[in-house]
Amino acid sequence: MRKLALILVCISLLTTGCWDYQEVDRLATVLALGIDRIPGSKNVLLTVQIGKPEGKGSSKQIGGQGGEKSYIIMNSEGKSLSEAILSIGKQSTRRVVLSHCKTAVLGRDLAEMGIGEILDDLKRARESRRTNWILTTDKTAKEIIEKDISLEQLPGRGLDHILQNFKKAGRVVPMNFNDFFARLNGESHVSFTPLAQLEDIDKQVTNQLEKVVGRSLDTEEKPKTLTIGKTAVFKNLRMVGVLNEDDTRAHKWLVDSPKGSSITLAYAPQAQTNGDKGDIMFEIEDGQTTITPHISEEGITMNIECTTKVLIHELGATGVNVLDPKVVAQLELQTAEAMKLQLEHTINTAQKELKSDCVGFAENLHNYYPLEWKQIKDNWDDVFPTVDYQIFCKVKILSSGTISNPTLRSEPE
Amino acid sequence: MPEKGIINTKQFVWMLFIIITTLAAMQIPSMLIMQAGRDAWLSVVSAWFLDVMLALVYAYMGIRFPGENFVQYSITILGKYLGRMVGILFPLFFLLVCSLMLQGLSQVVNTIFLPMTPFNVILVSSFLVSAFIGRKGLEVIARMTEVLGPLFFFSIVTVCCLVLPAVHMERLKPQLDEGIAPFLIGTPLMLTSFGVCIIMAMYIPLCNRPENGFLAKFSAVSMGALVVGLVTALSVGIFGIEDAQYMNSPGLQLAKMINFSNYLERVEMVWLLILVGSGIVASSSLLWAFGQGLAQIVGLKTYQPLIYPGALLSLVFCIGSFPSSLNQTNFFHYTFPIVAAFVETGLELFLFATALVLNKRGAA
Amino acid sequence: MRLFRSRKRKKAPKPELSQPLAAETDAKQENPPLNNSLAENLNTLQTMFANCTDFTYRELKIGLELVPVLLLYVNGITDEQTVNQNILKSLVNIRCSNLEISRSNNLEMIKNEFLEIGNITEISTIGEVTDAILTGSVVLLLEGTARALQIGTKGFVGRPISESVTEGVVRGPREGFTESLRTNTALLRRKIKTPNLKLEKFVLGRVTKTEVNIAYIEGISNTKVVDEVKKRISLIDVDSVLESAYIEEMIEDEAFTLFPQIDHSERPDKVAAGILQGQVAIFTDGTPFVLIVPTMMIQFLQSSEDYYDRSIYATSVRLVRFFFLNLALLLPALYIAITTFHRELLPTPLLISITAAREGAPFPTVIEVLMMEVTFEALREAGIRLPKPVGQAVSIVGGLVIGDAAVQASMVSPITVIIVALTGISSFGIPSYSFALAIRVLRFGMILLASTLGLYGILLGLLVMQAHLVSLRSFGVPFFAPLAPFNLRDAKDLVMRFPWWAMGERPRLIAKNNNNNTQRQKFFLKPAPPDENEQ
Amino acid sequence: MSIAEAADPKGSRVWNPLIEVGVLEEDKHMTVLIVFAALAISLAEGIPLGKQGQWKELAVMSTLLGMTILLAAGNYLGLPSPLSLLERLLEPIGKAIFK
């Protein structure tokens, strides 16, 4: 009797179910998401990139060259992000799922007007993940989402790959939702994201070549290329500025670690005071930056200590003799100086230009001087530009690649 | 005695561990972070200590009244009528915990697995399965936890290891920023949810070695505290206290952070499955404790017919009192600690003191 | 109809038992003693065996006084040669006067002095005579004696000992049990040479009179289990036992379950191994399948070859087997749950290629999977039942048509075919056929649950299944042991198969004896090269 | 549309402590189901108990089921459940202690 009842319950459960059942070919898988503000209104313009499954009929081709693209773009508008997401349903025959969307791109207008309203949705939505990447652009997110990335069938995944690579090596700190939120919630309320740009690299190259050759080159018109090399800084939910590429690199040394980055040194041996400068490039194999705050009567001082281990990547035509320990020591010193200069420039930009603590001074102060911090906390924005800092850089050259000295020396003048 | 099954100490440990952890690992960390901020893990440690102290009392009572659980010895101590009135509070408390637990788990299942499925379907099916298991008796529950418990423990530890790269130590600093008050207030919150393992008093008489009661509880609470402490500390270290305190389930969010070499990601469902499975088994042992306790108070020969009605009653509690997850969170945060503190600590200490004063002992 | 019948039987079990079927009446109820007169005895037996062409009798007159003697046997189940050579010939050759019509010890004399046969017993009732004849003995009746001699001449020409079909091994003994009980016990006795190996006889089946032997080693097996086996077997009261499955179903602990709780084998080495670790084997005449009790679930996943291969290899094979057990149970369900409920679990490229593969598929995934699974089961069944050459044709046609043509015709998506094929292969990885049957049935339940509630449904199904599994017992031994209740000592032969020198103990739960001695060998006999100086 | 509303597209489970909890239509169906379930349990468990003559067990079980049905009926009519009453009593204390 009891078993019969159990069976009945099971059957009734089985026959009435299937609320969430959804065939996989009735879904539109979003790969990347672009959010723009419609100028002059509060409305959000959403651009989504949806992977298009290649049916058995259609021919499979790579990267949409000549053939069809393997993704489609859809746009929708709404008062808020979730409303915009829902209203994609108006044009899509398939249910939109966001669980595979790994990248969200913020348009510049939106970022500058404030992102507070969309953040809640990004945190709350079931399908949103805190490991997703966040990007900002200097123009509109729509362009970035619509952009093909060469070699990639699905540009949305291409963006993911670029940012994944940054995690291992790169000049930019990739930002996932979690760190972005956590930094915004942090003591300084300053956060940052990588900045995606569309650059006409081909045009630039052609122009330069044309100057050299002196005539117009007969090259094909190529589309713009997506590059990620700068950093957008957010303060109190608003984008306040951009760090240029050099500052971005030094910014990475400060807030993440110098590891995986590179540094170029304009080398000038002291013996040859005139000329024969050459560029030497180092790859930073390992490194660490520690910021130690120090409060004294004079004020707040930040001791920034940056130790790196580098590999010689390129000696160029400098003609240095790296087999000479003295030269190596000198190289190390000069590199440290170059790093210091770069760091100083970056901190200066943050203090004077952006007036936002994107270098993490506030966190360190809070950690080291919790009591004092409570007093500074409220007027930190005013204090930050005046904070003094000292930079100590230390560079250790580990190896020189597969050869030691450059074999081809530049001709003496 | 209604229950004929015998459990061994290993099973005892895993059963306690599962009950503590499924109740605590899901929702407690965020409440704790709300109370204690970055020092939440300290609350876990101090609650662990206090709970071990409390366990001493329970273990002692288990030995002083051999072969009796608290339902029975409250009758022995306080007499036929008062003892029954006091004794019935324990089964009812287990029923309440069962409601809370299954509501929370079903809510998570509804949000993560089946967003379009009616909540009640999930709730009813989880109650059905846990009553099915509960009716099979303590031995079956014990054996199931023996399989699920280690799985659960290692899955949590694995999750914690996999999210370690995402931890930013500076989000955990500075400790004791606001003094010791926050973590002291957090302690009772944690203690009350650890305290659900007063169910140990139901198990001690059925254990093949009742004198190991304290040891079992100690190991279970230590494992539970380790897990909850890890989840709490990692949540702070990863999300920061501002976000972590309002998360419905920080443990789940932690699992969502897993991204191991870009291939192993979005696996939180696997972890969640193990958690929900353990939760259902844990609530079935709560239902069992309800049935067993009630059967002993009334003096029945068998407790099994009471399991399904108990589950139904618990379901009605759920539907009537927690129409939404917000209700449940609110109850869990503000009302449950008071109730739990009364039952877990107040009643037991009262019984303990009365037994000492009246010099009552169990019939050996 | 069935429900009604079972109801009726429950209500009135007694009267039915007291009124056996007509065919059994004479044998059971009236068991008159033998008569002094040979003619009358013959008359009684002839009426009993009317219309039995194989019933043979031969009248002889032996000795100087020509004492009438009657030989009775059933043709075909006796060894004709023995009857002729050792009985008839020696009887005919009796030439002494000691045999007198009036003497009473004639029978003893024949038995003691003339018959060249080892197995002779004296019987005294008609019932015993019929029993003896029907089990292949020759019965000798003597004029003037109310007793008879049962001469064991069982000589049924059975199948020779051949390799086991259902449990093949690469390394290990090739012999398998046959249909003859004596051969089977002999095979066992050849392996276990101790008088402590006890073989106890039961006769089951009122009509079939099937001989059943239980085998165990005194001192190793648990006496409680042996007593329980004896008790349960002696409670059986049926008309027929044609296969050991009849007994299995009547002595198992829980009737309403998909899982077999008693293992069976047709390999003497496996049965011997079972007996040696304290189990009890139940031999049934007429079938090569021997039951082994008590059984733990883990045994269904162990093959006898595990113990003949190197232990590391055996361990890894077991791991594969456990993995494939789970696949066989869950793979189609997981496929449905993940593709139709939880797409997040798939890597993005896989999701897109699955979507592409399903593009334009006419049926929902569940229907597709169910269709293919049912087809697969049909193919499998057809392959087993059909004559061997045709069976192969079926599998070829099935593979080609279902695998390829169905995809070509866009009936099913190729991934479904992969899933179903993989599930099929996985289910072949389970060594025990009867356990695989349970998994096969449960798989469909899991598919239904997965299509209703996704992974959560699978979870609920697994919980219910596990609760059921751990609540099962086989002759008092927890079925799910040594996993739950967990026993570290017994876990030496769980997923891992420890080397023989490290498995010092018999499984405690099975062999826990009254004297509690489960020691099998000296502790840790790890082999090592001899010391240097000894060389 | 506020953020909170936008984030909860189902919109059915927004709870406001200031407004008395209304009874949703879905929960009304549940009440009916619970009554049926109670009857089913009383049949499935009660008949064997009755056969074995365990009247005390039967009585306790029926009392439990009766309480369940009463509570379910209370839910149906929108009466506060015992836990809600408990919550009203104890929540102020909890709020005083915890943040």
Domain ranges of chain A: 25-54+63-243, 249-413
Which of the other chains make 3 or more beta carbon contacts under 8 angstroms with chain C?
A, B
Contacts of C254 in chain A (CB under 8 A): none
Chains B and A touch (3+ CB pairs under 8 A): yes
- Tell whether B293 lies on the interface with D, counting CB pairs under 8 A: no
Rounded to the nearest integer, the mean pLDDT of chain C is 84
> Is the pLDDT reported for residue A6 higher than 80?
no
Nearest to B335 among D38, D75, D91 (CB): D91
Q: What is the pLDDT of residue A56?
A: 45
Element of type H or E holding C408: helix C406-408
D41 and B189 within 8 Å at the Cβ level: the answer is no
- The single-letter DSSP state of residue A356 is S
Question: Strand pairing of B259-260 and B264-265?
Answer: antiparallel
Q: Would you state the structure tokens that stand for residue D51, as one six-digit string? A: 């056969």
| Average pLDDT over every residue of C445-471 | 92
Least confident piece of the model among B54-58, B207-211, C480-484, D77-81? D77-81
Q: What is the pLDDT of residue C335?
A: 95
Q: What is the pLDDT of residue B294?
A: 92
What would the pLDDT profile of D2-18 be if each residue is shown by its tens digit?
A: 444 444 444 444 444 44
| Average pLDDT over every residue of B36-64 | 89
Residues 62-101, chain A: which have Cβ within 8 Å of D? 79-83, 86
Rounded to the nearest integer, the mean pLDDT of chain D is 76
Residue of B nearest to D37 (CA): B312
Question: Strand pairing of C280-284 and B259-260?
Answer: unpaired
Residue of C nearest to B275 (CA): C459
Q: What is the pLDDT of residue C467?
A: 93
Contacts of A17 in chain B (CB under 8 A): 117, 121
> Is the pLDDT reported for residue A217 higher than 80?
no
Map tokens 């927004």 to a residue. Answer: D14
| Average pLDDT over every residue of B272-299 | 92
- Tell whether A157 lies on the interface with C, counting CB pairs under 8 A: yes
Amino acid making up residue A366: H
D7 and A121 within 8 Å at the Cβ level: the answer is yes
Residues 436-465, chain C: which have Cβ within 8 Å of A? 448-449, 451-454, 457
Mutation site for A-interface testing, chosen from D3, D13, D42, D61 by largest number of A Cβ within 10 Å: D3
Mutation site for B-interface testing, chosen from A128, A130, A365 by largest number of B Cβ within 10 Å: A130
Q: What is the pLDDT of residue C3?
A: 39
Residues 19-38, chain D: which have Cβ within 8 Å of B? 21, 24, 26-27, 30, 33-34, 37-38
Least confident piece of the model among A141-145, C310-314, C400-404? C400-404
Q: What is the pLDDT of residue A410?
A: 54
> Is the pLDDT reported for residue C424 higher than 80?
yes
Q: State whether residue D31 is helix, strand or coil.
A: helix
Least confident piece of the model among A172-181, C220-229, C516-525? C516-525
- Tell whether C343 lies on the interface with B, counting CB pairs under 8 A: no
Q: How distant is the Cα of A31 from the closest Cα of chain D, in angstroms?
A: 21
> Is the pLDDT reported for residue C199 higher than 90?
yes
Nearest to C344 among B126, B147, B266 (CB): B266
| Average pLDDT over every residue of A18-24 | 83
Share of chain C above pLDDT 70, in %: 91
pLDDT confidence band for B1 (50 / 70 / 90)? low
pLDDT confidence band for D88 (50 / 70 / 90)? confident
* B199-203, B265-269, C59-63, C510-514: range with highest mean pLDDT: B199-203
Map tokens 């069982």 to a residue. Answer: C154
Residues 198-227, chain B: which have Cβ within 8 Å of D? none
Are the CB atoms for B362 and B66 separated by under 8 Å?
yes
D7 and A1 within 8 Å at the Cβ level: the answer is no
Share of chain B above pLDDT 70, in %: 99
Please give, one letter per residue, the 3-state secondary structure of C429-479.
CCCCHHHHHHHHHHHHHHHHHHHHHHHHHHHHHHHHHHHHHHHCEECCEEC
Rounded to the nearest integer, the mean pLDDT of chain A is 83
Contacts of B170 in chain A (CB under 8 A): 363-364, 367
- The 3-state DSSP composition of chain B as helix, strand, coil percent (nearest 5) reads 80, 0, 15
Q: Would you state the structure tokens that stand for residue A327, as one six-digit string? A: 């030269």
A13 and B121 within 8 Å at the Cβ level: the answer is yes
- Direct distance between the N- and C-terminal alpha carbons of chain C, in angstroms, rounded to an integer: 81
pLDDT confidence band for A59 (50 / 70 / 90)? very low
| Average pLDDT over every residue of B32-58 | 90
Contacts of B310 in chain D (CB under 8 A): 64
pLDDT confidence band for A103 (50 / 70 / 90)? very high
Contacts of B5 (CB under 8 A, 6+ apart): B137, B138, B139, B140, B142, B206
Q: What is the pLDDT of residue C156?
A: 74
C343 and A13 within 8 Å at the Cβ level: the answer is no
What would the pLDDT profile of C134-170 be if each residue is shown by its tens digit?
A: 888 888 888 888 888 888 887 777 788 888 888 888 8
Q: What is the CATH number of domain A249-413?
A: 3.30.300.210
**CB atoms closer than 10 angstroms to residue A276:** 16
Q: State whether residue C358 is helix, strand or coil.
A: helix
Residues 330-369, chain A: which have Cβ within 8 Å of B? 363-364, 366-368
Q: How many residues does chain C have?
A: 535
Contacts of A164 in chain B (CB under 8 A): 262
D30 and B334 within 8 Å at the Cβ level: the answer is no
C464 and B273 within 8 Å at the Cβ level: the answer is no
Q: CA–CA separation, B329 vs A255, rounded Å?
A: 37
Chains C and D touch (3+ CB pairs under 8 A): no
C-alpha distances (whole Å) from C205 to each of B115, C29, C31, C286 are 59, 15, 18, 13
- Tell whether B50 lies on the interface with A, counting CB pairs under 8 A: no
B269 and C344 within 8 Å at the Cβ level: the answer is yes
Reference B205, options B21, B108, B64, B359; nearest CA is B64
What would the pLDDT profile of C297-332 be if each residue is shown by its tens digit?
A: 998 999 888 999 999 999 999 999 999 999 999 999
Mutation site for B-interface testing, chosen from C339, C348, C470 by largest number of B Cβ within 10 Å: C470
> Is the pLDDT reported for residue B71 higher than 60?
yes
- Tell whether C345 lies on the interface with B, counting CB pairs under 8 A: yes
Mutation site for C-interface testing, chosen from A14, A16, A21, A153 by largest number of C Cβ within 10 Å: A21
Q: How distant is the Cα of D58 from the closest Cα of chain B, in angstroms?
A: 8
> Is the pLDDT reported for residue B306 higher than 70?
yes
Are the CB atoms for C34 and C126 separated by under 8 Å?
yes
What would the pLDDT profile of A119-135 be if each residue is shown by its tens digit?
A: 888 888 888 888 899 99
Contacts of C366 in chain A (CB under 8 A): 21
Q: What is the pLDDT of residue A116?
A: 85
Please give, one letter per residue, the 3-state secondary structure of B31-99.
HHHHHHHHHHHHHHHHHHHHHHHHHHHHHHHHHHCCCCCHHHHHHHHHCHHHHHHHHCHHHHHHHHHHH
Q: How distant is the Cα of A224 from the closest Cα of chain B, in angstroms?
A: 28
Where b means 16+ CB within 10 Å and e means fewer, C365-402 reads bbebbbbbbebbbebbebbeeeeeeeeeebeeebeeeb
D6 and A83 within 8 Å at the Cβ level: the answer is yes
Are the CB atoms for B162 and B28 separated by under 8 Å?
no
Residues 111-130, chain A: which have Cβ within 8 Å of D? 117, 120-121, 124-125
**Sequence ranges of the domains in chain D:** 37-78
* A287-291, C288-292, D41-45: range with highest mean pLDDT: C288-292
What would the pLDDT profile of A345-376 be if each residue is shown by its tens digit?
A: 999 999 988 888 888 888 888 888 888 888 88
> Is the pLDDT reported for residue C20 higher than 70?
no
Residue of D nearest to B308 (CA): D41
- Tell whether A31 lies on the interface with C, counting CB pairs under 8 A: yes
Q: How distant is the Cα of A117 from the closest Cα of chain C, in angstroms?
A: 26
What would the pLDDT profile of C170-193 be if each residue is shown by its tens digit?
A: 888 989 999 989 899 999 999 999
Provide the β-strand partners of residue A46: A35, A76
Q: State whether residue C509 is helix, strand or coil.
A: helix
> From the centroid of its chain, how far is CA B90?
14
Q: What is the pLDDT of residue D2?
A: 42
Q: What is the pLDDT of residue C509?
A: 80
Residue of A nearest to B131 (CA): A6
Residue of D nearest to A82 (CA): D6
What would the pLDDT profile of B212-270 be if each residue is shown by its tens digit?
A: 888 888 999 999 999 999 999 999 999 988 888 888 888 888 888 887 766 777 888 88
Q: Would you state the structure tokens that stand for residue B288, as one six-digit string? A: 């069992």
Q: Which domains does chain B possess? A: 9-357 (1.20.1740.10)
Radius of gyration of chain B (CA): 20
What would the pLDDT profile of D10-49 be if each residue is shown by its tens digit?
A: 444 444 444 444 556 666 778 888 888 899 888 888 888 8
